[in-house]
Amino acid sequence: MSVTLGIDIGTSGTKTLAIDATGTILASATANYPCDYPKPGWSEQHPELWWNATIQTIQQVMARANLKGEEIKGIGLSGQMHGSVFLDQSGRVIRPALLWNDQRTAAECAEIEEKVGGREALVRLVANPALTGFTAPKLLWVRRHEPAHWERVRQVLLPKDYIRYRLSGTFATEVSDASGTLMLDVANRRWSYELLGKLDLDPALLPACYESVEVSAQVSASAASETGLAAGTPIVGGGGDQPAGAIGNGIVRPGVVSATMGTSGVVFAHTSELGFDPLGRLQRGCHAVPGAYHVMGVVLSAGGSFQWFREEMADSEAHAGREHQVDPYELLTREAALAPPGCEGLVFLPYLTGERTPHFDPDARGGWIGLTVRHDRTHLIRAILEGVTFAMRDSLELIRAMGTEIREIRVSGGGAKSDLWRSIQANVYGCDVAIPNSTEGPAFGVALLAQVGAARSFNTIEEACDATIKTVDSTAVDPKVRKVYDQVYAVYRDLYPALRESNHRLAEIARATTSV
């Protein structure tokens, strides 16, 4: 049967998997790497880490599935959205990539909106406001603050598209990932030359743009020798990690919404029409389904908040996990389950790297609110899980308010692995949550895209998803717990505006004292 690879370039690691035409996963592999935070609010990674991880995981998958290069009929690429890879005339990386959660570009975002004539005018051009994580403000930042680097820039790529370049020597992207650059005319699924002109950005800096299922490149002879793939293997457009993950969860028709907890958290809904919101409160873009669109809300530190706690405050769990081969997150969620819903009035704000939806505030700050001497570690941990889920509900409420039908919520990522966190999600969202049979997210989604566009196993993405994806379990709402969470959520909603000014002052102090 036709075998395709899905490769997902994540923030903390790269995952590669192989599937056949039934959607059966033949093998998978993951290679992890670090992220750098040179200054408060900054987030960077060197693209060579992604390439090394890609080579390693491709070789591992082929070995584990006993595959030869010529047996692989297509490759799909996914990756963290919004990141900026700057290449020189020779295709060499000029500086580390600025990532999706990098918050240094507030001034550039204001500049973009000013040059266009305000937020509403910008949303009409590219469907979104200027957000600090997006790609366009990063280009302006490098141009302003690193002119020597900027003089050398000849091509700007998104993370997954840098891997496409290394695999093929071809500069290309596709519409779902390009939607998050702030430079795509989303309604017409092409680069916005009007906006590029207003920002004095050369369109030649940007690659050719394809639909997600279109073949965009072929594996080169040099990449074949490094990876074990066959030269000429077709590479489809693929997708940004969120649209690709939505494919992997079967979010290809209206009414089914996904809630994904990775490093970031995303609430994602399929739409047939792009729609318009002058405030740009939800991120809008092209779906990986040709002709379709999506709306999504993004929590910047969802699983990232839990990861921060594990790394900074859970040494004993990490050690026990290594010693007894137990996931340290499982140990932490067992502890969290000992605390009651609502954590006796303790609330966690998950704004550890600022926040996107609904606040658009790079200087938002996190923390526990409501601490008393009764609270212990169980409350602290559970409050993180609840606080992240409240942040996800913010996006869900906006999607409901715009009239989008929600018949089913499918959960995935780290938040779907825990019985406790699934229960928290159902009761915070006020809706039963379902678990799809595929848990591999973006990598599985782009492997399916390759089955459609390269292997030709299916005629459409919808047909591929219908054949390979189904829900296998669900978690129901408990009315009593839901009532508690509704009460706590109302308080949670009040905390950001109450603390906004103080948090901005603290952020200014942090920037001023970093080098003291």
| Cα–Cα distances in angstroms (integers) from residue 164 to residues 196, 236, 497, in the given order | 24, 9, 42
Half-sphere exposure of 91 (CA within 13 A, CB side): 12
Element spanning 419, H or E: helix 419-429
**Among 275, 279, 259, residue whose Cα is nearest residue 267:** 259
DSSP assigned state of 134: S
419 flagged as catalytic: no
Q: Is 81 annotated as a binding residue?
A: yes
Give every CB contact of residue 324 below 8 A, 6+ residues apart in sequence: none
Give the dihedral sign, CA 432/443/45/84. negative
Q: Is 82 annotated as a binding residue?
A: yes
Q: Is 156 in contact with 171 (CB distance < 8 Å)?
A: no
Q: How far apart are CA 394 and CA 379, in angstroms?
A: 22
User: Helices (DSSP H) in 97-178: which residue ranges?
Assistant: 106-116, 119-126, 135-145, 147-152, 159-168, 175-178
Element spanning 466, H or E: helix 461-468
Give the dihedral sign, CA 100/363/293/113. negative
- Among residues 8, 241, 361, 363, the one annotated as catalytic is 241
Give me the active site residues, please.
241
Instruction: Report the binding-site residues.
Output: 81-82
Instruction: Report the binding-site residues for substrate.
Output: 81-82
